[in-house]
Structure 1
Amino acid sequence: MPATGTGRRTAAPRTVLRVKSPQALLTEAGHDDEGHGLKRTMGLWQTVAFGIGAVVGTGIFVVLGDVVPKAGPAAVVSFALAGLTCVFSALAFAELAAAIPVSGSSYSYAYASLGEGVAWLVGWCLLLEYGVSVSAVAVGWGQYLNELLHSVFGWQLPAALSNPPGSGGVVDLPALVVVLLAALLLIRGVRESARAAVVMMVVKLGVLALFVAIALTAYHADHFADFAPHGMAGIGAGASLAFFSFIGFDAISTTGEEVKNPRRNLPLAIVLCMAAVTLIYCVVAWAAVGAMPASEIGKHRAVLAVIVDQVTGSSAGGIIVAVGAVVAIASVVLTVLYGQTRILMAMSRDGLVPKVFERVSPRTATPVANTWIVGGVFGLLAAVVPLDVVVNLTTIGTLAILVVVNISVIVLRRRRPDLPRFFRVPLYPVTPILGIAFVLYLMWGLGASTWIQFGVYLVLGVALYFAYGHRKSKLRNAGS
């Protein structure tokens, strides 16, 4: 009896640390079997559009008014610093996505390098990055939709039906509707969703390009005279806030089982997406500060609309920015909701969440039940729960995932030098180490209260793992 008890006490740590081989992940995903359910229908540019669709959302439309008061005109540098942080980690994602092109993204990479326990916590953090952020982003959709309806038609939805409780309403019906519409489009097929993502990307980038063109007609170089009034501390604080605008770039890696020629197209799409988004954000920030003094930008929530109104002397700004925001938010909801369903499908294959999440419809080649469950849960969350308080928690959870991904590159290089790598992080190991350092710098800037919230969230995740995931783990049960 004592021996049995000892065995039980030591079995848990062994399972928590046990890794799953990349070959096993590829086999379970049906990498070499076209009959596994998911179909490879997305080309390179559709994948890039999916990535840009997941990133360019409400962030640049509203977060500029938060970054500039911290950094001043150096907000351009803050966006560049946040983008650089993502670029280092994007290179890590590119290497791992090319070597292990499966839907699990960072969850699967952690499983192959750091073990099941870390993989579970990564999946737990991905619920923040994908699921909760979908709800938080969807809340803003109704607000911009109302602004657009008011500007064009002179009427809008009543506050009781367009705001969650605590924000002047009873239920945020538009938030629920946009999530459910995204779910409906996703279950119809990835090809249709990718086409919609391309169209929405073109519209919102066109709106941002129009903003830059208008803002540059009122450009004043003297607005940059006091470039960094709060020094590097202000730039760093601004970068921590600006990072929220980049959340979702890793959604590209969740398309690993539905992208054509994934070993080539995944790393290329990730790098192209991050380069494009960083450039777009920096140009928009530069044009905005050039058109309006930094001391004024922080006074306006919809600052892009205000700048266009002032420059043109009309109310066109509200309409232009509202159109861009409505399309941008819809595209973010679509692509990030897609990423959440694929993460849960990968976790279900490993037995860590219920089997319903891994079932793929033979008719649509999509996880229908998974998509409706995710859409229903997070749509309802957006409709009835104020989510402003979890923005920083979402950010720190996403940053923690990037730390794990960079560490995974280093661990797999040491443990699995034989693993075929169709893309390699340049300047290894400097690049992943810099990626970790930049991420930790941004995490530090989020403050003590956010760290405390994150610690509580992780403890809850550990409790759920041992209550369900650890007992149901296929890896554990196969080895027992």
Structure 2
Amino acid sequence: MDEKKLGLGNVVSISVGLVVATSCLVSLGNGAGTLGSTFIFAMFIAMLLNITTVASLSELNALMPNTTGGLAQYTLAALGPFPTLISMVGGYLICNTMSCGVEASIFSFSLADVIGPGIPSFAYTVIMTVIILLANLRGVDMFAKIQDIVAFLLVGSLVAMGFIGMIGIGTGVKIQQPYVLNADFKDVAAMTAVAFWLFIGAEYAIPVSKQVKNAKRNVPLGMMIGLFLIFIMQSVMIFGFHNYVEWGALADSAAPHLVYGYAVLGKAGKIWMMLVGAMAVISTQNSTVNSLAVICQGMAKMNMLPKIFAKTNRHNVPWFGQVFVSALILIFGYFSDSSADMISFLILVGSVFWMISYILAHIDLLIFRKRLPKAPRNFKVPCGPLFPIIGIVGTAYMILNISSDPHEKFMIWLVTGVCFIVLGIYSALWIRFKMKMKIFKSIPLDKVLAMENDLYYYVRKSKGIWK
């Protein structure tokens, strides 16, 4: 009998390590550069809304504890294949490759800034992406052994640099500037959409729940503590920003962590932040190429994507999925290359995709509460439907106020709207003619669980249901 070895501290560290990334620092710099220290209030609101999401996902996991695809299975059982396919392709594939492309762009800009001119920054993105792809195609999980160490170095470095800046003991020159640039509540509330990016991903700790002692308490509590610790860490960074970097310089930078590192500790601080950020980006991209290819392979086995995504090479690696994901990363990396405005724009577009998937999680929970009120759950969100409804309303508000710039807001809605229209047409046609299912008919829980078995695909194919 396997012992459950993970405790509350492990869940907290996993949540924090999965959430914190260099792209978060762009959002942090953008928000602080726009509002000043009052951006902390926007962060607090975003943190609370994300806490409602991890609570809803924890109850869904308690209801369907043996699923590996998470939101895909929850939505399939609650709403049917159409919203499932859209949320998986949009919320997972597009959003993750977009954020990873942005991360790669930040890495390339940071490296080019430290090394100096001569090589185009995008060249570093191409080199890194090709190396990671070739290694993964051979079945080598790069940095699998040190990903926890990388996450620790990144979080530890941000805490240390933030604390040094906050108490003013850096070697750089302290500056004088106001703490507050804008205290209008409407503007602060509108910036919650920017702050939202600082907290997404804590729910990725849910799959380890089977290895956690007292998972009923430790998994949701660990994720919530992790979100609170991230809030504290980022707040400390903002006070450090105030002492050493002009607010406007943060908002205009494609790599604010380099600007801050140089301002606090000179060239040594800049190199320090570049190296830690680079390791984190490489680790993140490696995980993305690996995990998304496997997710696409599973969706292909469920006949939700073309069969080529399920094919493996001689190293038993889903090669097409890895090539496809790497290509998308390069595309997004190219469009965001060295441009602070484009990086911020793509982060906000990615946020909309992620927010919609979070809204679906809340809706799934409310449906299961109505449909299966007495089904056993080892965790249940308190206060009935209150917190899921708050999560839906708050997240919808962030989508409607995704940017304070009307033109940028329109462009974000336009890009996401076009993507969803294309995904909707693809999903409707694919489900109707390839999966042979009703697009909005929910799938029974036992059938959803059966779909995880490879035999499900082969049985339906042998009977001529799937082609």
Asked if TM exceeds 0.5, the reply is: yes
Which of 94, 97, 120 does residue 61 from structure 2 map onto?
97
Deviation at 1:69, TM superposition (A): 3.4
In structure 2, C-alpha distance between the alignment counterparts of 1:472 and 1:394, rounded to whole Å = 29
What is residue 449 of structure 2 aligned with on the other side?
none
What is residue 128 of structure 1 aligned with on the other side?
94
**Deviations, residues 168-192 of structure 1 (Å, cap 9, x unaligned):** x7x842442465278469x446xx8
Q: How does 1:41-440 map to 2 (within 5 A)?
A: 43=6, 49-101=13-65, 102-126=67-91, 127-148=93-114, 150=115, 158-159=119-120, 162-163=121-122, 172-177=125-130, 179-180=132-133, 183=136, 187-188=139-140, 195-218=145-168, 227=180, 229-253=182-206, 255=207, 264=216, 266-292=219-245, 294=247, 297-298=250-251, 300-312=253-265, 314-358=266-310, 368-369=318-319, 372-382=322-332, 384-386=334-336, 388=342, 390-440=346-396
SS at match of 1:315: helix
- Is the 8 Å Cα contact of residues 403 and 439 (structure 1) preserved in structure 2? yes
**Deviations, residues 223-273 of structure 1 (Å, cap 9, x unaligned):** 565x362511221232212223334334334x4698567955654553343
| Alignment pair present for 1:454 and 2:419 | no
Q: Which moved more, 1:275-284 or 1:175-184?
A: 175-184
Distance 1:181 1:385, change over 3 A: farther
Specify the code of the residue in structure 2 equivalent to 1:351: N
Distance 1:141 1:292, change over 3 A: closer
Q: How big is the alpha-carbon RMSD for the aligned residues of Structure 1 and Structure 2?
A: 3.8
- Structure 2 unaligned blocks of 5 or more: 403-408, 439-459
Deviation at 1:352, TM superposition (A): 0.9
- Is the 8 Å Cα contact of residues 48 and 272 (structure 1) preserved in structure 2? yes
Deviation at 1:136, TM superposition (A): 2.4
What is residue 13 of structure 1 aligned with on the other side?
none
Distance 1:419 1:223, change over 3 A: farther
SS at match of 1:246: coil
Percent of aligned positions with the same letter in both sequences?
19
Distance 1:89 1:40, change over 3 A: farther
Deviation at 1:310, TM superposition (A): 3.5
Q: TM-score, normalised by structure 2?
A: 0.77
Q: TM-score, normalised by structure 1?
A: 0.75
**Deviations, residues 348-369 of structure 1 (Å, cap 9, x unaligned):** 34211134545789x99x8543
Specify the code of the residue in structure 2 equivalent to 1:130: N
- Is the 8 Å Cα contact of residues 312 and 318 (structure 2) preserved in structure 1? yes
Which of 418, 425, 429 does residue 463 from structure 1 map onto?
425
In structure 2, C-alpha distance between the alignment counterparts of 1:338 and 1:260, rounded to whole Å = 24
In structure 2, C-alpha distance between the alignment counterparts of 1:305 and 1:56, rounded to whole Å = 16
- Is the 8 Å Cα contact of residues 110 and 255 (structure 2) preserved in structure 1? no
**Deviations, residues 401-422 of structure 1 (Å, cap 9, x unaligned):** 1111111111111111233322
Deviation at 1:111, TM superposition (A): 0.7
Distance 1:95 1:335, change over 3 A: farther
- Is the 8 Å Cα contact of residues 16 and 230 (structure 2) preserved in structure 1? yes
Deviation at 1:474, TM superposition (A): 6.8
In structure 2, C-alpha distance between the alignment counterparts of 1:99 and 1:360, rounded to whole Å = 32
In structure 2, C-alpha distance between the alignment counterparts of 1:103 and 1:96, rounded to whole Å = 12
Distance 1:116 1:292, change over 3 A: same
Specify the code of the residue in structure 1 equivalent to 2:274: A
In structure 1, C-alpha distance between the alignment counterparts of 2:110 and 2:64, rounded to whole Å = 39
Deviation at 1:374, TM superposition (A): 4.4
What is residue 434 of structure 2 aligned with on the other side?
472
- Number of residue pairs matched by the alignment: 422
Specify the code of the residue in structure 2 equivalent to 1:213: F
Distance 1:233 1:327, change over 3 A: farther
In structure 1, C-alpha distance between the alignment counterparts of 2:132 and 2:17, rounded to whole Å = 15
What is residue 16 of structure 1 aligned with on the other side?
none
- Is the 8 Å Cα contact of residues 349 and 416 (structure 2) preserved in structure 1? yes
Distance 1:472 1:111, change over 3 A: same
In structure 1, C-alpha distance between the alignment counterparts of 2:215 and 2:294, rounded to whole Å = 18
Deviation at 1:65, TM superposition (A): 2.6
Deviation at 1:323, TM superposition (A): 1.8
